[in-house]
Amino acid sequence: MKALVKATAAPGLQLTEVPDPVAGPGDVVVRVLRTGICGTDLHIESWDDWAARTVTAPLVVGHEFVGEVVQTGSAVSAVKVGDLVSGEGHLVCGSCRNCKAGRRHLCANTRGLGVHSDGAFAQYVVLPEQNAWVHRNEVDLDVAAVFDPLGNAVHTALSFPVIGEDVLITGAGPIGIMAAAVARHAGARHVAITDISEHRLELARKVGVDLALNVAEGTVADAQAKLGMSEGFDVGMEMSGKPTALREMIANMAHGGRIAMLGLPAEQFPVDFGSVVLKMLHIKGIYGREMYETWYAMSVLLGAGLDISPVITHRFHYTEFDRAFATTRQGNCGKVILDWTES
């Protein structure tokens, strides 16, 4: 089969032939239809310090995908050949304390599909049955391909109640925009999002935010004033990993406010913990999806009318992967999709 491979410990990817995957007893093989490009894939493609520490070449990359099950292992009981599935890219051990307690998203031994084992940027991918989310209702293939990052958004957005609350999201990347759409759909009173990219702020406006603020031209305090607020935001979702974003968020939270942090900082930075204490703020770290409560919530939300289609801005055939990665890297885009069907 054809696959995008990190062939050597150096920048770049190669589209090459690799052996077809074979299902183990508890695995399924999926014919890949669509994949989404993630920031993790950019790190691996460029071979930055994180990738050099984390990834062992050769490796088939990619973890955001949807496809059709074409083979099942002898112990597979629920997933059937012909099922349309999205893949949960976190491969958990099943034997640690959290896994045994049903808290699989907290598994300390988590391995990443397309990071620690061969991934989904290929015509076929193999994964454990428990990692295959079967779509029981009709779903757009492009949307199904990005269930992984949509899950990050839903997990973050629903970590705290948002009905009637004033919500601040810092970072209008695709996940931040999807989180804004979820918060709006779930009944938030005001949803404000910040970034420095006018292109991405415009995408956020398309999903119905009340205010999309360019923080190169204004402050979060300005956002409060524009929305007629006086006591701060009730719920914060930090998606950027930027020190200034978290500090501005803390400074503009209401007393008793709650912050969910998905953005991963590149390095350590100081935080005004005096304000955290005096305002009695709750701060929660978010990593991935709750397996599989978040997946259930995603399907229900989409069935109830949640529309994230504005976030998907570019589509390429997999043979155009160089253009697709370049488009993703330059930033004037939302989610970029690769089509793995033969044209």
Domains, the chain, ranges and CATH?
2-146+308-339 (3.90.180.10), 153-285 (3.40.50.720)
Give the active site residues: 40, 43
Q: Is 287 annotated as a binding residue?
A: yes
Q: Is 99 annotated as a binding residue?
A: yes
Q: What is the pLDDT of residue 216?
A: 95
User: CA distances (Å), 49 to each of 11, 54, 294, in order?
Assistant: 11, 9, 31
Q: Is 88 annotated as a binding residue?
A: no
Amino acid at 73: G
Q: How far apart are CA 119 and CA 32, in angstroms?
A: 11
Q: Is 107 annotated as a binding residue?
A: yes
Regions of the chain short of the pLDDT cut 70: 343
Global pTM? 0.95
User: CA distances (Å), 13 to each of 2, 98, 300, in order?
Assistant: 13, 36, 36
Q: What is the pLDDT of residue 343?
A: 59
Q: Is 283 annotated as a binding residue?
A: no
Q: Is 211 annotated as a binding residue?
A: no
Q: Is 264 annotated as a binding residue?
A: yes
Q: What is the pLDDT of residue 93?
A: 95
User: CA distances (Å), 247 to each of 197, 214, 224, 271, in order?
Assistant: 19, 16, 16, 6
Q: How far apart are CA 40 and CA 239, in angstroms?
A: 15
Q: What is the pLDDT of residue 87?
A: 97
Inter-axis angle of helices 174-185 and 198-206, to 10 degrees?
A: 30
Choose among 63, 72, 60: nearest CA to 24. 72
Q: What is the pLDDT of residue 80?
A: 98
